[in-house]
Amino acid sequence: MKLTGKVKEQELLANLKKACENEWVSKLINKLKISPHEACKVTSKLEDCALELEHCQKCKGLFMCQNSYSGYIKMPNKNNDKIYFTYVPCKYLKKRQEEINIKNKIVHENEYARMKDIDVSDKKRAKVIKWLDDFFENYNFKDNKKGLYLYGNFGCGKTFLISALLNELNAQKQVSIANLYFPELLRTLKNDWNIYEEKINYYEKVDILCIDDIGAEKVSDWGRDEVLGTILQSRMNNKKTTFFTSNLSLDELEAHFKINDSVEDSLKSRRIMERIKQLSIPLELISENKRK
């Protein structure tokens, strides 16, 4: 019986020695600071970890992940002389999680923003803030007031400024409002076609709509012509106030909307731009990146 156990351990050690030809297995053993006797009991699991680490060395993003669980790496740990294995997020998943946390924080801030919260110390914002103040003071349901196409550098507070105005109008003048993050709408509609009519109808009829981060979406015939074009045409026909925020100027946005170089596609892109120009006044905002 003892002989059988000894033979078994020798086999395990032989397997470990072969596994250690992989530099990642050796590195993991050194990191754990364990003896060959301890390591040989978990050789196959260490090889699994090594394989996932090798995948990560060649990986360029979550879309390329080859590991057992997308975005995670199987890693060994030692606690109280026991070796256990857990899955930890890779650098790409950590980055995505950080971006989601930042986005959620921004969404929360924008949801409760009011005009009193606007930072007026930045002189670069003065022209935009004056425009927003005038809009608020003069707004009434009878006028067909144009919205704002507010564009500028990333993180300068475009969405916050428009949200503050819209929230104030909702609170003080009972205006129905909606902030639409356009790339997210496209993803939502693709995932559930049953809500298409309900969503489009809502964005067509709300008193004031802000289409946020237009130009950040991946352009397609469907998204540009069927979704965005339908909403803009309806709002233009019904004289509904519409705002836009973007990192792109109007000329850059027109170029963004072109899928190819055909005359027909250029006309479709121009048609979208004409609707945007009919609905809004362009104003540039270049200021400090407040998301730092």
Report the SS3 class of residue 83: strand
What is the rounded CA–CA span in Å between residue 48 and residue 93? 20
> Under CATH, which number does the domain 112-285 receive?
3.40.50.300
Q: Are 75 and 88 in contact (CB under 8 A)?
A: yes
Query: Is the pTM above the cut of 0.85?
Result: no
Per-residue pLDDT at 291: 56
Per-residue pLDDT at 145: 87
Ranges of CATH 3.40.50.300 domains, the chain? 112-285
Per-residue pLDDT at 4: 61
Low-confidence ranges of the chain (pLDDT < 70): 1-7, 100-108, 288-292
For 292, counting Cβ atoms within 10 Å of its Cβ (0-12 exposed, 13-18 middle, 19+ buried), the class is exposed
